[in-house]
Amino acid sequence: GQNIDQPTEMTATEGAIVQINCTYQTSGFNGLFWYQQHAGEAPTFLSYNVLDGLEEKGRFSSFLSRSKGYSYLLLKELQMKDSASYLCAVRAGETDKLIFGTGTRLQVFP
């Protein structure tokens, strides 16, 4: 079957670093996406990994290990506006269908 796991909730302090993990078991793998979703809003694209390693984009970085079925999203210099849900999604197989995890709700405190 297809399964994506990520923690339900996390808390962190403004200015700190937080790592959100995602593990997946899917039939085939063709890329992993991270999305950010503020409450009541649409998901917005953050990052994409298809090869092993780290992709850095400003304060956000995403890591992938295909052999371990594992990814993480690293958020540095946390700001209050980073309080949101973070969705891990895997494209499995040759089509463009994405399988989403249930999301990790991150709360950033002053």
Secondary structure class of 88 (helix, strand, coil): strand
Nearer Cβ to another protein (47/78) = 47
CB 8 to another protein: min, Å: 9
Nearer Cβ to another protein (44/107) = 44
What span, in angstroms and rounded, lies between the C-alpha atoms of 99 and 62? 18
**Residues interacting with another protein, by CB under 8 A?**
30-31, 33, 35, 41-45, 48, 50, 87, 89, 91, 94-98, 100-103
String of DSSP letters for 23-51: EEE-SS---EEEEEE-TTS--EEEEEE-S
CB 95 to another protein: min, Å: 6
Q: Are 6 and 85 in contact (CB under 8 A)?
A: no
Which residue type occupies 53?
Answer: G
CB 108 to another protein: min, Å: 21
CB 13 to another protein: min, Å: 26
Nearer Cβ to another protein (1/110) = 1
Nearer Cβ to another protein (16/38) = 38
Angle at 106 between CA 51 and CA 45, to 5 degrees: 40
